[in-house]
Amino acid sequence: MPKKVSTARNRKHWNFKRKLTRSEPLAAVAGIRQTVGVAADHGGYELKQYLAGKLRDSGHEVFDFGDGPPKEGDDYPDFIVPLARAVAAGTVVRGIGVCGSGVGASVCANKVAGVRACLIHENFSAHQGVEDDDLNMICFGGLVVGHALAWELVQTFLAARFIGAARFSRRLAKVAELEITLTKRTP
């Protein structure tokens, strides 16, 4: 069981630094098998393929929203938006979006109501984003993050669970209200 560590006054987070064997993925330790969607443009294709393979090897069901072999003319919204819609609809439990920097994938995914996506490059945010903000999609830069780090972050992201404390739920309700208000507003 992961050990809790205090990171701020009256606040505890899970410390996922339990010693794992090289062949023991974190998600397997937590007994988690999930339906995960992946998508990338040409800048994230290689990392997406790597992560999809690791996810399948770990027993996850993976839905690949594209792109296939990279083409310079492909655009990340063409692949990230269908993934984000699947996350919002619950067709997949979590999503992984990859573009060259990860920024475009994150911006694009967050345009879909019900998606809470973030560009992640370190472990704290990979679990804290889920625990506090119910993050349901993680984004990477295929030209920025190495394969091993991305896999570690995906495992942390998939193993984390929304805490559901009143203050977190209250904040998420405000975000949901924003999505409704902004959708109704005309440009």
What is the structure's pLDDT at 168? Answer: 59
Is residue 118 domain-resident?
Answer: yes
Tell me, what DSSP letter sits at residue 69?
S
**Per-residue confidence at 9, pLDDT binned at 50, 70, 90?**
very low
Which one has a higher pLDDT value, 3 or 49? 49
14 pLDDT exceeds 50?
A: no
Is residue 50 domain-resident?
Answer: yes
Task: Please give the mean pLDDT across all residues of the chain.
Answer: 81
Is residue 168 domain-resident?
Answer: yes
Is residue 17 domain-resident?
Answer: no
> What is the DSSP secondary-structure string of 94-135?
EEEEEESSSHHHHHHHTTSTT--EEE--SHHHHHHHHHHH--
Is residue 1 domain-resident?
Answer: no
Catalytic residues: 99
What is the structure's pLDDT at 55? Answer: 98
Backbone angles phi, psi at 167, to 5 degrees: -65, -35
**Per-residue confidence at 46, pLDDT binned at 50, 70, 90?**
very high
- How many domains, the chain? 1
**Owning domain of residue 161:** 33-184
What CATH code is carried by the domain that includes residue 141?
Answer: 3.40.1400.10
| 87-98 CB burial, b ≥16 within 10 A, e <16 | bbeeebbbbbbb
